[in-house]
Amino acid sequence: MLEAVRVALDPTPRQERLLESHAGAARFAYNAGLAHVKAMLERQEKPEWSYYALRRWWNANKDALAVSMETGKPWWPENSKESYNSGLESLADALKNFSKSRKGQRKGRRMGFPRFKSKDRAVPGFAYTTGSFGLIDCDPYALRLPRIGRVHCMEDVSRRVNGAKVLRMSVSKRGGRWQASLTVERADLPIPSPPKGGSVGIDLGVKELATLSDGTVIHNPHVLKSNLGRLKKAQRNLSRKRKGSNRRRKARAQVARLYARVANLRSDALNKTTIMLAHAYSDIGIEDLNVAGLVKNHGLARSIQDAAFAEFRRQLTYKTARTGARLHVIDRWYPSSKTCSNCGTVKAKLSLSERVYHCEECGLVIDRDLNAAINIQVAGSAPETLNARGGSVRQTRLECGTMRHPAKREPSGGGNRVRLGAGLGNEAMQMTSL
C-alpha cells in the first residue's frame, strides 16, 4: 500500500538557494525537452517522447544545452541529476496525458499540448527517486537531500514514516514554504472491524458543508469568502508593481501566501470532518455529485469550489477504508431532495430557493437538506432498501436507449405505506415547523 507523507522543511539561506537552483534545473530540462519534441514535430519526424527517450536525448546533449554564457562551461554538474530527470519525467507524463486524451483513452477533461514553464508562474519543485535520499538515522527531525545535505524539518519525520520504505521524495515550494512529500510503501493491514456507530446519510451543501441524517449540521467555514477581501487587496497591489522588480516579487509572494492560507484552512476543516465521520459511523451514504455540472451555475460556482465536494469524498473514501467503515455512493440521478422521506412521494419540481420541504401527500414539513440526508441514508443502508421506496437508485438503460426509473414496491396510496423514518432515531424528521 502506497501512502504520501508530507512535511514542512526549514532550510538555511544557503540550502534555500540550492533548492531554488535544483527547481530551476528541473524547469530548464522540462523546457529544453519540450523544445526538442516541438522541433521533431516541425520536421515531421516521429516524436520519441517517452521518459527513457528524453533521458537519452538529455544525456547526449546536456553539455551543449546547459552551458554558462559567461564562462562557456557546462553548469549542469552543480545540481543533482535527479532534478533534471524529474523535469523530463514531468514532460513525459504531460505528453502521455495529451496523447491519451486526444485518442479518448483518458478520463476527465481534455488535455492540451504541454506549454513551456515560466519562472514566475510555475511551482518550483523537483523529485528524488534514486540515491541516498530520505531519512537520517538517529536524526528524526531531518531529511537527507543529495547535493544539498541535511535539511531540518518542522516535525518528527521518523514517527510519520513509522518504518515504512521510502520510494520517492518530491520537494516543492508552495506559499513561500518548502515542503517534502515522501511516497512510502506500507504493508497491507487487515481490514479493521467497522465502528460501533450506526448508519448515516450526508447531504453536502454550500450554505452548510454537510447535513447528517441524525440532525447534525456541519458548518461550512467559507474560507475563500472570508479571505476574499485580503486577496483582492493583495492582487491589486501586485498589479501595480513593475514587472521584473523586487517589489513585484514580494507582492507575488504575498498573494501566494494568502492562497496557501486558504488552502490550509480548507484542508484542515475537511480533514477534521472526514476523520470524525469515519470513526463515528459504520455505514456512510453520500451522493455522487456532478461537480463539473454544478459549477456551470456561475452564481454559485465560487461557493461550490470553495466547499471542495470532490476533496471531501476523496478523503472520506480512504479514511473509511482505514477505519473499516463502509462508504455507499448513491447514484447522482437519485432525487434525494425531491423525495419525501416519510411517504416516498417525488416532487416534479423543487427550486433551489425552497429551503423547507413540504410534502403535499402526507403533510411532512422538514428542512430540505435534512430530508435529502435521510433519503441518502436509507438508500445506502441495506440491500432491501436501496432507495427510499425499495428499488434500485440507478437508472437502467434499455437497449432502445430510453431510461427506466425504479418502480415502487407498494402503491402510492392507501394506509399501508412504509414509514421510512421509523427507527432512525431522528426527532427532527417529524418536524412540523422550523
Residues 16 and 163 reside in one and the same domain: yes
For residue 324, give the nearest of 282, 286, 383 by alpha carbon.
Answer: 282
Range 27-58 burial, b when 16+ CB lie within 10 A, else e: bbbbbbbbebbeeeeeeeeeeebebeebbebb
Residues 399 and 252 in one domain: no
Phi-psi sector, 139: left (phi>0), alpha (psi -120 to 50), beta: beta
> Do residues 362 and 431 share a domain?
yes
Q: Is the pLDDT of residue 313 over 70?
A: yes
173-189 average pLDDT score: 90
Q: Which three cell numbers stand for residue 303?
A: 461557493
Asked if residue 192 is part of any domain, the answer here is no
If one counts the domains in the chain, the total is 3
Reply yes or no on whether the pLDDT at 347 is more than 90.
no
Last residue of a domain, one of 159, 185, 211: 185
Q: What is the model's pLDDT at position 403? A: 36
- Residue 384 contacts by C-beta under 8 Å, 6 or more apart in sequence? 390
Whether 294 maps to a domain, the answer reads yes
Final residue belonging to a domain, choices 271, 306, 329: 329
- Separation of alpha carbons 10 and 177, rounded Å: 8
For residue 411, the model assigns a pLDDT of: 31
| Residue span of the structural domain in which 239 resides | 199-329
Selection from 414, 407, 334, 406 nearest residue 375 by Cα? 334
Per the domain annotation, does 119 fall within a domain? Answer: yes
Task: Based on the fold, state whether residues 59 and 181 are members of the same structural domain.
Answer: yes
* 126 found inside a domain: yes
Please tell me which residue, 388 or 224, carries the higher pLDDT value: 224
Q: Which of 207, 209, 204, 201 is nearest to 266 (CA)?
A: 209
Model confidence band, residue 416 (pLDDT cutoffs 50, 70, 90) = very low
What is the per-residue pLDDT for 279?
93
Q: What is the mean pLDDT of residues 231-245?
A: 93
Q: Domain check: are 206 and 323 in the same one? A: yes
- 25 pLDDT above the threshold of 50: yes
Assess whether pLDDT exceeds 50 at residue 404. no
Q: Do 6 and 126 fall into the same domain?
A: yes
Cut 0.85: pTM above it: no
Query: Quick one: 324 and 356 in the same domain?
Result: no
pLDDT at 399 over 50: no
The verdict on 97 and 234 lying in the same domain is no
Residue after which a domain boundary falls, among 185, 209, 224 = 185
Indicate whether 391 and 407 sit together in one domain.
yes
Statement to judge: residues 319 and 336 lie in one domain: no
Q: Which of 14-28, 104-118, 270-284, 398-412 has the lowest mean pLDDT?
A: 398-412
- Burial class of residue 187 (count of CB atoms within 10 Å of its CB; 0-12, 13-18, 19+): exposed
As a whole number of angstroms, the distance between CA 409 and CA 374 comes to 19
Grid cell at residue 255:
498573494
Residue numbers annotated as active site: 203, 287, 369
Grid cell locating 416: 399501508
E strand intervals along 225-337: 283-287, 326-330
Answer yes or no: is 109 within a domain: yes
Residue 191 covered by a domain: no
In a domain, 304, yes or no: yes
Domain membership of residue 193 (yes or no) is: no
Tell which residue, 388, 369, 324, has the closest CA to residue 214. 369
104 lies in the same domain as 78: yes
DSSP 334-355: S-TTTB-TTT--B-S---TT--
CB hemisphere CA count around 253 (13 angstroms): 10
- Segment 352-377, tens digit of pLDDT: 888 888 888 888 888 888 999 999 98
> Per-residue confidence at 432, pLDDT binned at 50, 70, 90?
very low
Co-location of 313 and 180 in the same domain:
no
State the pLDDT at residue 346.
Answer: 87
